Chain A
Amino acid sequence: MVEEIQHLRNIGISAHIDSGKTTLTERILYYTKRIFAVHEVKGKDGVGAKMDSMELERERGITISSAATYCEWKGHRINIIDTPGHVDFTMEVERSLKVLDGAILVLCGVAGVQSQSITVDRQMSRYKVPRVAFINKCDRAGADPYRVVKQLRQRLNHNAVLMQIPIGLEGDFSGVIDLVSMKALYFEGPFGEEVKTGEIPSPLLDEAVAKREEMLDAASLFSDELMEALLDGSVREELIYEAVRRGTLSRQLTPVFIGSAYKNIGVQPVLDAVTDYLPSPKEVENTALDMDQGEKEVLLSSDPGDPVVVLAFKLEVTPYGQLTYLRIYQGTVGKGDDLVNTRDRKKIRVGRLVRMHADEMEDISSAGAGDIVALFGVNCFSGDTFTDGRLNYSMGSMFVPEPVISLAISPKDNRSDTNMAKALNRFTREDPTFQSRVDEESGQTIISGMGELHLEIYVERMKREFRAAVDTGIPQVAYRESISRRAEFNYIHKKQTGGAGQYGRVAGFMEPSEDGIYEFINKVKGGVIPSEFMSAVDKGFQSCLKKGLLIGFPVRGIRITVNDGQYHVVDSSERAFLHAAIGAFKQAYSKARPVILEPIMKVSVECPCEFQGNVMSSINQRRGLIMSSAEDGVFTTVEAEVPLAEMFGYATTLRSLTQGKGEFTMEFSRYAQVPETLAEDLRLRYKEKSKRSKA
């Protein structure tokens, strides 16, 4: 067992769907002897690759949840978090990236850098994750790793440097030339488990020398010793490793490896790269927020002897109960220890501590700083921080985007009703971007998320994992209301019908605020509203934001200033001022020219160039605004901003427009005012719905 933190690696394997990352993971587990047979992702043998632990993932051939697993390679322990490749699961990706120290960016040797690779790479940059790149599928027709390297440089802005060149390509792809050792590597045995080295085939020698020069030039920028060695002709392999490692850790260099996981070529050198070039937890700066010092940022030590700081980054339901994945940032967690949840200060006892291997597990007695493990039977939310009670640190709230789409669901039968509730409870704990509520008027259960596919997957998971069959309604856009100009209010709430009276006057104005936030400004002078009632006034206004008066959607981007009022020594109360604020809001809202806002998505469509016109036309028909179009070889990427309401069913449309060759990703960009004709339509529909619910 490897214990030293410098020999630990926490890595992710992140990429576009169908780049072959699950196959790569499967081969890694095979070569590190964690598994003893390999399977395909789409499982012709009915078994499926190891990392796709959910039945649904097996069926679709894609990875949805991050499953953690570990392996050992040449004296190093590697924890692998398999991350999803579709933008609808952004939260999953972001959570995984938060706990990673490094990543393998898998790219398809044929399709190259695709739209989703760009999104995932942008996320990795945000979390400052160093990466090595693996250009997969070099055995496929049309594979061109040199083109992909260029794309890495041009489209992802990586200082990408080839560490290998291929021996043959497409059907002739048979091995790689390692530019550090200047040896040819061949992968023999039934599953490529035997790495054989040989001399560089003579037709490739000149190319290898030239590419090595390029690699050395790039690496020498990170090492004076290598620079000097280059000048006096005494370059040693250790100097190259050290220089490339420095460049990679500083995220100014991306070493690129090539291979075909499916054909068992080039996987072991990627494992070497993980241990050689990616950081140990000690080499990564992690910070927490000290809640006792006003959320002051503090540096964590990565020392197993220091007080414990642990992040619960992933929850999963298993047949044995809730499984909580933890990243230990500091200290050591052992079986039987008590941990304190920073969010609610509740204590938990560490019962079963396990190391995960996809959906199998190994019991362990303790784990130290830097490690990724899982706990059983802990009641918490994803993103919670635990300490041993000596510190009151939080790993910080991860950015949670607001859901943009919702769907009404109803159980098909009684059994499904109970199971649906269980499923929703589980999913909302697992994924903060997935929300669920019961609509007060219709009594329907509404689920909300980041896209059509996001919700579809959860509906299917309900059916498969929880046996909850549900009917779904039509997806609804998360509209918002706001105001477009300043309006005054001066409202008296007065009630004198037996018993204690109620009196409160609230005066001031409302106006649009920036960035969609709510602000409450107290400018009351001379105690005309006693300070103890001001929080009730604020609460009264906030209660009105939950449901706007135009179409019943939440109100955003509003600043309320209260500058006058009046109270009564006997009849004024918090309740009276709360109602006065509600009255004041209603009085001013319609005068403030309220508007309806809709979510605008940043859409990126990738397709062969000949379909550019079709794609542009389809975006234009959806009220989209074309921002740009980039031609890169035979592919075009059209970037546009499109209202979410117009994007339903776009996947199907795009498939038919591009003969199945186009694909798109989208992410929330901003809220924008809906056109007047549509606003009128929404207002009418809301009126009709209100009438129906009253009747």
Chain B
Amino acid sequence: MKGFLEVSPLKVLEGSAYKGLGKGNLGVLMARAGVGKTSCLIHIAFDKLFRDEKLVHVSLKDAPEKVSSYYSVIFSDLVKALSIANEYEVRSLLDRNRIILAYLKESFDLNRLRKNLRNLVQEVDFIPDSLIVDGIDFAETSRDIFEGFKTIAEEFDLEVWFSALSHRHITEVNERGIPFPCNKLDDFFSLIMQLYATGSGVFLRLLKDHDSEAIPDAMVRLDPDNFLAMD
């Protein structure tokens, strides 16, 4: 799977302090509506899966069927873009390493998630390396929830990636340069990335890199068709 890792959106972390998020830590990918937040988040998931790591995708808005179809569509794009020959085998391997946990109709709470993760570890021997969390409304979610996620990340030795929706009309930015909706929550996150589109393409840049004072001037340009790193 070397081909993918060379063009993964997470190439943006090559210049970062730890080259990645690291277990026990939280990371967030923020973008405005329609830029491709979920697609990019799933590319982060593929980065983990292609490294043969185990992953749990937590969805707070979509049913598993829909999440699974996102993965299928993106995988089909990757098969074409990377000319993956043994598609069936690769897909089977990825399916083995990914489980979707969906919480529909406001069924989500941290205790349920913790219990579900424990079931996966104890009953199925599925020990996840990463958690992808899609669908949390950052503007409406209290700090307690993120504290809870931090505890879960440490307890289960996981790295946890979130997506966050930013808005064109809310321009708040904190003193550390982190925009809404992460401006009041940035202390929870070790990595903060922003996905944005300009006339010249779609870009992913790093806004926070662990405790490093100097944010590397890292930015990758992504192919808008398949979110793979260009250049």
Residues of A within 8 A of B (CB): 147, 150-151, 154-155, 609, 612-614, 616-617, 619-620, 625-633, 639
Q: A155-B63, A613-B119, A616-B119 are in contact. Are A628 and B104 (CB under 8 A)?
A: no
A/B pair count, beta carbons within 8 Å: 73
A147, A614, A626, A630 pick with most chain B CB within 10 angstroms: A630
In the complex, whether B99 has a CB less than 8 A from a CB of chain A is: yes
Checking B105, B115, B123 against A150 with a beta-carbon cut-off of 8 angstroms, the contacting residue is: B105
B119 touches A630 (CB 8 A): no
Shortest distance from the beta carbon of A486 to any chain B beta carbon, whole Å: 16
B100 touches A627 (CB 8 A): yes
B116 touches A154 (CB 8 A): no
A629 touches B107 (CB 8 A): no
- Interchain Cβ contacts under 8 Å between A and B, 11 examples: A613-B118, A616-B120, A616-B123, A627-B64, A628-B67, A628-B100, A629-B99, A631-B103, A631-B104, A632-B107, A633-B105
In the complex, whether B125 has a CB less than 8 A from a CB of chain A is: yes
B105 touches A617 (CB 8 A): no
Chain B residues contacting A629 (CB-CB under 8 Å) are: 64, 99-102, 116
Chain A residues contacting B63 (CB-CB under 8 Å) are: 154-155, 630
A158–B157 Cα distance when bound, in Å, is: 39
Checking B95, B118, B125 against A627 with a beta-carbon cut-off of 8 angstroms, the contacting residue is: B95
In the complex, whether B122 has a CB less than 8 A from a CB of chain A is: yes
- Nearest to A612 among chain B residues (CB) is B119
In the complex, whether B112 has a CB less than 8 A from a CB of chain A is: yes
Q: A151-B105, A631-B102 are in contact. Are A609 and B112 (CB under 8 A)?
A: yes
Chain A residues contacting B67 (CB-CB under 8 Å) are: 628
Chain B residues contacting A151 (CB-CB under 8 Å) are: 105
9 nearest interchain CB pairs?
Answer: A628-B64, A628-B100, A617-B123, A630-B102, A613-B119, A631-B107, A632-B104, A616-B123, A620-B124
Chain A residues contacting B119 (CB-CB under 8 Å) are: 612-613, 616
Chain B residues contacting A625 (CB-CB under 8 Å) are: 95-96
Shortest distance from the beta carbon of A109 to any chain B beta carbon, whole Å: 16
B104 touches A630 (CB 8 A): yes
Shortest distance from the beta carbon of A641 to any chain B beta carbon, whole Å: 8
A630–B124 Cα distance when bound, in Å, is: 16
Chain A residues contacting B108 (CB-CB under 8 Å) are: 631
A633 touches B107 (CB 8 A): yes
Shortest distance from the beta carbon of B220 to any chain A beta carbon, whole Å: 31
A612–B117 Cα distance when bound, in Å, is: 11
Chain B interface size band reads 20 to 34
In the complex, whether B68 has a CB less than 8 A from a CB of chain A is: yes
B68 touches A626 (CB 8 A): no
A627–B126 Cα distance when bound, in Å, is: 12
A630–B64 Cα distance when bound, in Å, is: 7
Chain B residues contacting A619 (CB-CB under 8 Å) are: 124
A626 touches B116 (CB 8 A): no
Chain A residues contacting B123 (CB-CB under 8 Å) are: 613-614, 616-617, 620
A626 touches B103 (CB 8 A): no
- Nearest to B100 among chain A residues (CB) is A628
B105 touches A632 (CB 8 A): yes
Chain A residues contacting B125 (CB-CB under 8 Å) are: 620
Give a binary string over B41-64; 1 marks a CB under 8 Å from any A CB, 0 the rest.
Answer: 000000000000000000000011
B67, B95, B103, B124 pick with most chain A CB within 10 angstroms: B124
A617, A625, A628 pick with most chain B CB within 10 angstroms: A628
- Contacts A612-B119, A627-B100, A628-B99 known; list 15 others, CB within 8 Å: A154-B63, A154-B104, A614-B123, A616-B123, A617-B124, A620-B124, A628-B68, A628-B100, A628-B101, A629-B101, A630-B101, A630-B104, A631-B102, A633-B105, A639-B64
- Nearest to B59 among chain A residues (CB) is A630
A617–B119 Cα distance when bound, in Å, is: 8
A619–B119 Cα distance when bound, in Å, is: 12
- Nearest to B88 among chain A residues (CB) is A514
- Nearest to A616 among chain B residues (CB) is B123
A154–B63 Cα distance when bound, in Å, is: 7
Shortest distance from the beta carbon of A654 to any chain B beta carbon, whole Å: 15
- Nearest to B102 among chain A residues (CB) is A630
- Nearest to A150 among chain B residues (CB) is B105
A626 touches B124 (CB 8 A): yes
Shortest distance from the beta carbon of B151 to any chain A beta carbon, whole Å: 20
A639–B95 Cα distance when bound, in Å, is: 13
- Nearest to A617 among chain B residues (CB) is B123
Chain A residues contacting B118 (CB-CB under 8 Å) are: 613
Chain B residues contacting A147 (CB-CB under 8 Å) are: 105
A149–B68 Cα distance when bound, in Å, is: 23
B102 touches A626 (CB 8 A): no
- Nearest to B62 among chain A residues (CB) is A154
Chain A residues contacting B112 (CB-CB under 8 Å) are: 609, 631
A614–B63 Cα distance when bound, in Å, is: 22
Chain A residues contacting B104 (CB-CB under 8 Å) are: 154-155, 630-632
Shortest distance from the beta carbon of B96 to any chain A beta carbon, whole Å: 6
- Nearest to A609 among chain B residues (CB) is B112
Chain A residues contacting B120 (CB-CB under 8 Å) are: 616, 626
Chain B residues contacting A614 (CB-CB under 8 Å) are: 123
A628 touches B105 (CB 8 A): no
Shortest distance from the beta carbon of A631 to any chain B beta carbon, whole Å: 4
Shortest distance from the beta carbon of B57 to any chain A beta carbon, whole Å: 9
Shortest distance from the beta carbon of B62 to any chain A beta carbon, whole Å: 9
Q: A154-B63, A616-B119, A616-B120 are in contact. Are A627 and B105 (CB under 8 A)?
A: no
A614–B115 Cα distance when bound, in Å, is: 12
Q: A609-B112, A633-B107, A639-B64 are in contact. Are A628 and B102 (CB under 8 A)?
A: yes
Chain A residues contacting B105 (CB-CB under 8 Å) are: 147, 150-151, 154, 632-633
A620–B122 Cα distance when bound, in Å, is: 11
B124 touches A616 (CB 8 A): yes
Shortest distance from the beta carbon of A689 to any chain B beta carbon, whole Å: 32
Interface residues of B in 77-129 (CB under 8 A from A): 95-96, 99-105, 107-108, 112, 115-116, 118-120, 122-126
Chain A residues contacting B115 (CB-CB under 8 Å) are: 612-613
Chain B residues contacting A155 (CB-CB under 8 Å) are: 63, 104
A151–B107 Cα distance when bound, in Å, is: 12
A613–B118 Cα distance when bound, in Å, is: 9
Chain A residues contacting B68 (CB-CB under 8 Å) are: 627-628
Chain A residues contacting B95 (CB-CB under 8 Å) are: 625, 627
A302–B224 Cα distance when bound, in Å, is: 48
- Nearest to A147 among chain B residues (CB) is B105
